[in-house]
Amino acid sequence: MSDKIVNFPLIGTPAPEFSAQTTQGDINFPADFKGKWVILFSHPADFTPVCTTEFMTFASMHEEFRALNTELIGLSIDSIHSHLAWLQAIKGYTWNGIEKPSVEFPLIADIKMDVANKYGMLQGESDTSAVRAVFFIDPEGVVKTILYYPASMGRNFNEIKRILIGLQKSAAEGVALPANWHPGDDVIVPPPGTCGAIRERKELVKNEDYDMKDWFLTFKKDK
Ligand code: BEZ
């Protein structure tokens, strides 16, 4: 691969707009998804083994993501006909407790690599197939988290769901989440920014829902 410059969105910036052909019809992003969280992800190629296990897993969790006000959008640099044939084939497979899954979320046919180039999905492994990228985009169309995995490594879908739930919690409650946080664990309240706020925090933590380790590190029970 050449020393080409790869552009990609940054966390905290608007997700690049695009229009695309998908297995569920044409989409305009982010306009068609306003008010929802979106997980936009790429895979290297249709009819490949790791990608097949990932699509089976995403299909099996589709309703769980929908219940979290989240839509899935897949992408690879393959034609719409290749996508349709692959998704038909996937409907015949059973693996890891997932039986004959139906992929109902849109899969973008990015044959001209327009979207892949906007999202930095073409990296050092190949000039013609995307890495395994995952973009978490909030209901206002802002990028909140980016993951990139190599072609050889299937993604951890429990981690993808954990990140989504954590991002939603952080946005809704203004809290931060400690190392290895899982839903239900204690959260972190933002550190005070003034001497007065430190005094107020010392009062607040007399409540048993709080656990202050130091003035800048306070945990709160998740009730
Ligand atoms: C796979 O999905 O198995 C795969 C795709 C591209 C390169 C290597 C592995």
Say yes or no: CB of residue 50 within 6 Å of ligand 1: yes
Three-class HEC string of the chain: CCCCCCCCCCCCCECCCEEECEECECEEECHHHCCCEEEEEECCCCCCHHHHHHHHHHHHHHHHHHHCCEEEEEEECCCHHHHHHHHHHHCCCEECCEECCCCCCCEEECCCCHHHHHCCCCCCCCCCCCCEEEEEECCCCEEEEEEEECCCCCCCHHHHHHHHHHHHHHHHHCCECCCCCCCCCCEEECCCCCHHHHHHHHHHCCCCCEEEEECCEEEECCC
**pTM, 2 dp:** 0.96
Per-residue confidence in pLDDT tens, the chain, 223 aa: 556 788 899 999 999 999 999 999 999 999 999 999 999 999 999 999 999 999 999 999 999 999 999 999 999 999 999 999 999 999 999 999 999 999 999 999 999 999 999 999 999 999 999 999 999 999 999 999 999 999 999 999 999 999 999 999 999 999 999 999 999 999 999 999 999 999 999 999 999 999 999 999 999 999 8
Atom of ligand 1 nearest to the CA of 52: 2
Centroid of ligand 1 to alpha carbon of 22 (angstroms): 21
Q: Identify the structural domains of the chain with CATH numbers, from first to last.
A: 18-156 (3.40.30.10), 174-223 (3.30.1020.10)
Note the pLDDT of residue 167: 98
Note the pLDDT of residue 6: 84
* CA–CA gap between residue 90 and residue 101 (Å, rounded): 7
Say yes or no: CB of residue 151 within 6 Å of ligand 1: yes
Centroid of ligand 1 to alpha carbon of 51 (angstroms): 6
Note the pLDDT of residue 30: 97
Note the pLDDT of residue 182: 98
Say yes or no: CB of residue 108 within 6 Å of ligand 1: no
Note the pLDDT of residue 1: 53
- Most informative mutation of 57, 123, 152, 155 for ligand 1 (most atoms within 8 A of CB): 152
Note the pLDDT of residue 153: 98
Residues recognised as catalytic:
51
Centroid of ligand 1 to alpha carbon of 129 (angstroms): 10
* CA–CA gap between residue 111 and residue 128 (Å, rounded): 9
